[in-house]
């Protein structure tokens, strides 16, 4: 999954195809987290503890999903982006940010580059800390993702 966002019809998930589910954003994310052993609120608290920070934090769901958000979850136009699938984050003109995914699909957001990039780097830090503790670095996509960050 590349990202999750709220729409009028429900929750839209984007991978290779777009799907819409009639659910609230928090309950959808909570269900994803529960399938991997914890609640959404538990994952957020864990991230705050690991990063020694308060406020907006990315959260770990599984080895395939680590989400960071474009805005607060209460905002209607919030998008949760899967860090594992992000190839790069680029600032473009007019205060917009372009996210390029591993399949070269692009997402254009109207948010601050510095704020979004900080969230992206925090999500990489969470992944690094959790995977080093679990010794799961043998996964090829994780190695590709963390190669430049850890070396």
pLDDT tens digit sequence for 40-58: 999 999 999 989 988 899 9
What is the predicted pLDDT for the residue at 109?
94
142 — pLDDT class (breaks 50, 70, 90): low
Cα–Cα dist 2/19, whole Å: 12
The chain-wide mean pLDDT, for the chain, equals 86
Statement: residue 3 has pLDDT above 60: yes
pTM as predicted:
0.83
How many CA atoms, within 13 angstroms, populate the side-chain half-sphere of residue 80?
Answer: 27
Residue 125, both tokens: 């830090």
pLDDT tens digit sequence for 76-105: 999 999 999 999 999 998 889 999 999 999
151 — pLDDT class (breaks 50, 70, 90): very low
Enter the DSSP assignment of 78.
Answer: -
Statement: residue 18 has pLDDT above 90: no
**Average pLDDT in the 6-15 region?**
89
**Which residues pair with residue 91 across a beta bridge?**
97
Statement: residue 149 has pLDDT above 70: no
3-state secondary structure of 73: coil
Statement: residue 34 has pLDDT above 90: yes
123 CB-contact burial (10 Å; exposed 0-12 / middle 13-18 / buried 19+): buried
What is the predicted pLDDT for the residue at 10?
87
């Amino acid at each position: 999954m590349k990202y999750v966002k709220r729409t009028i019809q429900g929750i839209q998930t984007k991978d290779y195809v777009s799907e819409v589910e009639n659910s609230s954003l928090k309950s959808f994310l909570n269900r994803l987290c529960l399938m991997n052993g914890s609640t959404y609120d538990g994952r957020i608290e864990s991230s705050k503890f690991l990063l020694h920070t308060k406020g907006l934090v990315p959260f770990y769901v599984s080895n395939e999903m680590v989400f960071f958000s474009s805005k607060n979850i209460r905002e209607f136009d919030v998008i949760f982006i899967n860090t594992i699938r992000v190839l790069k984050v680029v600032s473009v003109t007019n205060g917009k940010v372009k996210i390029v995914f591993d399949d070269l699909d692009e997402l254009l957001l109207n948010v601050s580059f510095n704020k979004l990039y900080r969230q992206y780097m925090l999500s990489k830090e969470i992944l690094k800390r959790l995977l080093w503790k679990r010794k799961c670095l043998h996964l090829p996509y994780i190695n590709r993702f963390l190669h430049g960050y850890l070396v």
